[in-house]
Structure 1
Amino acid sequence: MNAGSAERHDGPGSGRGGGGGTDRALSSTATAPWRRDPAAARRLGLVVAALVVLWPLLVWCEFRPWALLDERSLRATMRFAGQFLTPRVDLEFLTMLAADTWRTVAIATVGLALAWVIAVPLALLATARLSVSALSGRMAAGPAALRWAVRAVLIVLRSVPELVWALMLVRVIGLGPGAGVLAIALSYGGMLGKVYAEILESADAAPTQALLRGGAGRLQALLFGALPSCSEELVSYTVYRWECAIRSSVVLGFVGAGGLGQQLDNATKMFAGSEVATILLIFIALVAMADRISAWLRPARTAGQGGESRHPLSARPPARWGLRALLAALLALLVMSVVTLPLRWGELLGAGALAEMGRFLAEFFPPQLAPDFLGRVGQGALETLAMSALGSGLAAIAGLAVALLASRPPGPLRWASRLLLNALRSVPELVWASLLLVAAGLGPMPGTLALALHTTGVLGRLMAEALENAPPQTAQALRWAGASRWQVFAFATLPQAAPQLLSYTLYRWENNIRAATVLGVVGAGGLGQMLSLHLSLFQMRETCTVLLAMLMLVMAVDACSYAARRRLNH
């Protein structure tokens, strides 16, 4: 009888005493550790704590999924969704969508180009890599103060979602693609500037410092010292952000920037399910194409460069000639976008536009600080926080479940689950929210479900990669000991991948708190609904207070998530 069978038949409750029973029990514990979980008490405590936290989140989010089964709601949903089976494909409609698809891509392309113009000088000012005074080991007071001021500007630019920028810019320059282009430029300028500075500082410092000590200027040190070692990563991250900007440009159509988003918003409000289906199919195909181009251009960072890829799903880089050809095509795309977009550059960037923007910003001050209004803002902030936390938690559970199928050996289940994940993540949160409003009505619940659906697609893909990359030795040892497939997963694969899975979930929570702040634009509750209301009523002091609450909430969640991820990684 082997040790495993001895434990099964002659365990502690069998009545067989003596040292032999003890030896068998010890042997069985050594070969079958899943039968005695030393961390069971801690796991149970974590489950209880999660339930204690979950209850108020459910209350704040008005999370009542059974409301979706209400007879009236179910009838409206089935009538709307039934039209998805017959997408509208007449020539007139497809021609209109082709023009709007091009406008969507053009807004993203021109917006990202302007973001690059904003990001490059700010990144050079924010990094200490090109500082001459820092060569002595301590940066002078003036450059240090400038560096921190620039970093603060980058934080503000990227903390305000592009949809919020667009809502404010529409009030200044009117409807049309101009507001969308500038919104992407401001928000993505902050993102690019931050990451550019981090890439420059993480590169090998020796060439840059040698040039600066030899009397070279900062521009020479940048061109011949810093850029050669990190140019590929700078290009790859920029193209990845172009993919993200295409998703954003669709969302901006909901506030009048044009493109596919505006058509989708109109079709949803008219309950034209056949038109919605066609627009969604085109949008998913567009995002898939942009994602493929972006993945092809993303080279994985090698161990010699330190750290990990800034995009966790980096693909094998293309040949140098292919890279140059694709970059040339993207440059041609930029030129065509600038030529074809109906942008009035004089009105957007001229002295008159800047003066109008100054007058508009002056109306924001002083912010409204009346106690009753601050109470409503606090309630909206709690609602937004609850939406982001609950949506992220639901997505982590659902994403892990689908990731188990997506990480299986090649087969129909793997293919179908990965197709599902791609479809979920291709549709932005705001689009999901606008569709769910048909079934769930106004309030935070459709916003929570929208966050959960989109984030399930993102986390499911990342989690599948993490599970596939987990070291196989421990799992193989448990299989040899007779463990079942689920026992191997619970006691070998999952514990090894858990830090990475938690890190991905926390990172997505950072993104979801930004998304949750704008879902209210379509009636999904939270601070976004307050912002949209006060902007539409031209109550700028109240708008300023809501914006400040958004900034503080986003930065607080960023700080908590960053601290938790650092603890996990160390």
Structure 2
Amino acid sequence: MNKLKLNYTSISFLPILVCIPIGYQLITNLHFGGLNLFQEFVISAFNPKIDNEIIITLINRLNETILVGFISWLVSIIFGAILGILSSNIFYKIFNIPKFFYSIIKSFLTIIRSIHELVWGLLLMQIYGINFLIGILALCIPYIAVNSKVFAEQLETIDYKSFESINQINAPKFSSLLTLIWNPIINTFKNFGLYRLECSIRSTVMLGFFGFGGIGTSIFLSFQTLNFRELWTYLWSLAILIILSRVIFKKIKFNNTNKIISISLIAVFFTTILFTFSYFLYFVFKNNFENFHSINYLFKSSSDLELFDFLRLILDTIILSLLSTAIAISLPPLVIGIFNNNTSKIIIRIFAFLLRLIPTPLILLTLLTFNNPSLSLAALTLGLHNAGITSKLLFKNLDIQDKRNYIAMKSLGISKKTSWLLGLFSQQAKSYLAYCAYRSDIIIRETAIVGVIGSVGLGWQLQESLSSFAWQEVIKVLIAYSSIAIVGELINGKIKNSLT
């Protein structure tokens, strides 16, 4: 058993070897023209700009961000729960519906989940232009699919004996369904749903970099004008918003037997359904298609994308995903293991929080001030951002880990680093790798962000094709993106199942 744990431990560290070729390319592409700008960017973090004008702008931008993020979250949670029920086996067992429909819904959700919200946003923006609903819709489409997957997975854990017991008393089918799914749905909402609100706010900020409004747009404009003090005012306010939301979430208590909450949830459910449907109809029938005259137009537009170049872009995207995932997996345990003291841990936690706080586009734009665009720079950016996320989970699990083995090894005179590695981390390595397998699914989709800005992979080609209204190329890129994400999800699912 110890040998097995050591193998998982070794696997957690081996991917860091990708930093050798990445580091070599970054060094060769290094230029010192932007180091002064980078230095000013870092120093400005300790001296943000505060005056009446920026406070007013900040409040307005935060209101926009919270509004879009909250509506997107609410709609995606409700419809995610509905589609999660429709894509779970328990639904088809109760109503005796053919599994054919189950396969259709699952396949549809898998496809729309495989495309990142930024890609949806760029597509919708190109068709409809920029308006309030575009950002919400861009977030809702993939988020509904992601949430439905989580809800469906939780419903699959329902004991089949419970279904048989209810079925034997010939209870109404809808009542049977509600009785079986109510607790799993509420528990999933408590454990996952509230966290998705933070994700929705972060995604709203990210979309702001591409013109969708909110505080993300203000951050991007501040960076363009090199007003770093103003930029950090927005970033620190965003940090306060995220911290406050976490505190509020922890204070929220749910009682499954509370009738008031049940009635409130049902009221919110039907209200959201009504407003969403109304706005959807308004969005479809009141907005004109720009530069997108008909479906046939997709297939009549010319395409200059050669097969060899297209395959190279696909390969670049796959390599980008692998390199970023490797950094996200290995960097947190390596850094924590080397700098294993209380002061260093506090510093690492702060840096990890900043990597999570600063949107990926801003990290990449900052690094571009002293390095040329490259696959390595894009991989480093995406890897660092996700390393901040994986390190949060690792710290959390290590804090609650039983430390008796660690203390025993230290008392025997074994070095602190070795004791940490074999006495603490080795017991977390398996679950840590399982989470990283899940995280790699997200990293594959996030390659679109660094691709658009860093001029690499399919993300860059998507931006170029949309700019020239080459819809044939856009469709090819979307199919390639979706295929990579789906294959990656299947592979990572196998890995995750073998680790749990």
| Superposition TM-score, scaled by structure 2 size | 0.85
- The 1-side partners of 2:182 and 2:484 are apart by 35
| Counterpart for residue 20 of structure 1 | none
1:58 and 2:22 matched: yes
Q: Displacement of 1:118 after TM fit?
A: 3.2
| Counterpart for residue 241 of structure 2 | 286
| Counterpart for residue 72 of structure 2 | 111
1:381 and 2:314 matched: yes
Q: Displacement of 1:388 after TM fit?
A: 2.6
CA contact (8 A) 1:404 1:464 kept: no
- The 1-side partners of 2:168 and 2:25 are apart by 61
| Counterpart for residue 285 of structure 2 | 351
CA contact (8 A) 1:208 1:226 kept: no
The code of the aligned residue for 1:247 comes to: R
Structure 2, unpaired ranges of 5+: none
Quick check: 246-255 or 385-394, which moved more?
385-394
Q: Secondary structure at the match of 1:271?
A: coil
The code of the aligned residue for 1:392 comes to: T
Q: Displacement of 1:467 after TM fit?
A: 3.0
Q: Displacement of 1:513 after TM fit?
A: 1.3
- The 2-side partners of 1:118 and 1:560 are apart by 27
Instruction: Give CA-to-partner distance per residue, 1:389-423, whole Å, 9 cap, x none.
Output: 22232333331244448986xx5544443233222
* Residue from 364, 379, 385 that aligns with 1:448: 379
1:73 and 2:7 matched: no
Q: Summarize the alignment of residues 416-431 of structure 1 with structure 2, pairs less than 5 Å apart.
A: 416-431=347-362
| Counterpart for residue 550 of structure 1 | 481
Q: Displacement of 1:208 after TM fit?
A: 4.1
Q: Secondary structure at the match of 1:494?
A: helix
Q: Secondary structure at the match of 1:554?
A: helix
| Counterpart for residue 87 of structure 1 | 48
The code of the aligned residue for 1:267 comes to: S
Q: 1:227 to 1:81 in 2, by over 3 A?
A: same
Quick check: 358-367 or 211-220, which moved more?
358-367
The code of the aligned residue for 1:192 comes to: N
| Counterpart for residue 180 of structure 2 | 225
CA contact (8 A) 2:378 2:450 kept: yes
- The 2-side partners of 1:41 and 1:246 are apart by 38
1:178 and 2:133 matched: yes
CA contact (8 A) 1:199 1:234 kept: no
Q: Secondary structure at the match of 1:440?
A: coil
The code of the aligned residue for 1:276 comes to: L
Kindly tell me the number of residue pairs found equivalent between the two proteins.
495
The code of the aligned residue for 1:345 comes to: Y
Structure 1, unpaired ranges of 5+: 1-33, 298-316
- The 2-side partners of 1:453 and 1:77 are apart by 17
Q: Summarize the alignment of residues 266-281 of structure 1 with structure 2, pairs less than 5 Å apart.
A: 266-281=221-236
| Counterpart for residue 258 of structure 1 | 213
Q: 1:206 to 1:406 in 2, by over 3 A?
A: farther
Q: Secondary structure at the match of 1:449?
A: helix
Q: 1:74 to 1:50 in 2, by over 3 A?
A: closer
| Counterpart for residue 328 of structure 2 | 395
| % identical equivalent positions | 21
Q: 1:431 to 1:49 in 2, by over 3 A?
A: closer
- The 2-side partners of 1:518 and 1:78 are apart by 25
Q: Secondary structure at the match of 2:25?
A: coil
Q: 1:460 to 1:42 in 2, by over 3 A?
A: closer
- The 2-side partners of 1:350 and 1:117 are apart by 21
Q: 1:431 to 1:212 in 2, by over 3 A?
A: farther
CA contact (8 A) 1:521 1:528 kept: yes
- The 1-side partners of 2:441 and 2:414 are apart by 37
The code of the aligned residue for 1:119 comes to: G
- The 2-side partners of 1:448 and 1:501 are apart by 21
* Residue from 434, 437, 440 that aligns with 2:365: 434
Q: 1:350 to 1:501 in 2, by over 3 A?
A: closer
Q: Displacement of 1:178 after TM fit?
A: 1.4
| Counterpart for residue 81 of structure 2 | 120
Q: 1:144 to 1:39 in 2, by over 3 A?
A: closer
1:513 and 2:444 matched: yes
Q: 1:196 to 1:92 in 2, by over 3 A?
A: same
* Residue from 189, 196, 201 that aligns with 1:241: 196
* Residue from 550, 555, 559 that aligns with 2:490: 559
CA contact (8 A) 1:243 1:294 kept: no
Q: Displacement of 1:431 after TM fit?
A: 3.0
CA contact (8 A) 1:534 1:543 kept: yes
- The 2-side partners of 1:322 and 1:418 are apart by 38
Q: 1:497 to 1:567 in 2, by over 3 A?
A: same
- The 1-side partners of 2:310 and 2:465 are apart by 12
CA contact (8 A) 1:466 1:500 kept: no
* Residue from 483, 498, 515 that aligns with 2:429: 498
- The 2-side partners of 1:528 and 1:478 are apart by 49
The code of the aligned residue for 2:439 comes to: R
Whose RCO is larger (CA < 8 A, sep 6+)? 2
- The 2-side partners of 1:168 and 1:323 are apart by 43
- The 2-side partners of 1:38 and 1:194 are apart by 31
| Superposition TM-score, scaled by structure 1 size | 0.75
Q: Displacement of 1:531 after TM fit?
A: 0.6
Q: 1:129 to 1:146 in 2, by over 3 A?
A: same
The code of the aligned residue for 1:351 comes to: F
* Residue from 78, 85, 90 that aligns with 1:129: 90
CA contact (8 A) 1:503 1:568 kept: yes
Quick check: 511-520 or 288-297, which moved more?
288-297
* Residue from 143, 148, 152 that aligns with 2:103: 148
- The 2-side partners of 1:38 and 1:182 are apart by 46
- The 2-side partners of 1:457 and 1:152 are apart by 32
Instruction: Give CA-to-partner distance per residue, 1:522-562, whole Å, 9 cap, x none.
Output: 23522111111111111111011111111111112222222
1:487 and 2:421 matched: no
The code of the aligned residue for 1:241 comes to: R
Q: 1:257 to 1:47 in 2, by over 3 A?
A: closer
Q: Secondary structure at the match of 1:518?
A: helix
Instruction: Give CA-to-partner distance per residue, 1:121-170, whole Å, 9 cap, x none.
Output: 32222111022478xxxx7xx62110010001111121111111110111
The code of the aligned residue for 1:419 comes to: I
Query: 4+ residue runs of structure 1 moved beyond 6 angstroms?
Result: 37-50, 318-325, 354-358, 366-370
Instruction: Give CA-to-partner distance per residue, 1:358-410, whole Å, 9 cap, x none.
Output: 9565544489888x6232222222222222322232333331244448986xx
Q: Secondary structure at the match of 2:66?
A: helix
Quick check: 231-240 or 533-542, which moved more?
231-240
Q: Displacement of 1:74 after TM fit?
A: 1.8
The code of the aligned residue for 1:58 comes to: I
Q: Displacement of 1:277 after TM fit?
A: 1.2
The code of the aligned residue for 2:279 comes to: W
Q: Displacement of 1:190 after TM fit?
A: 0.5
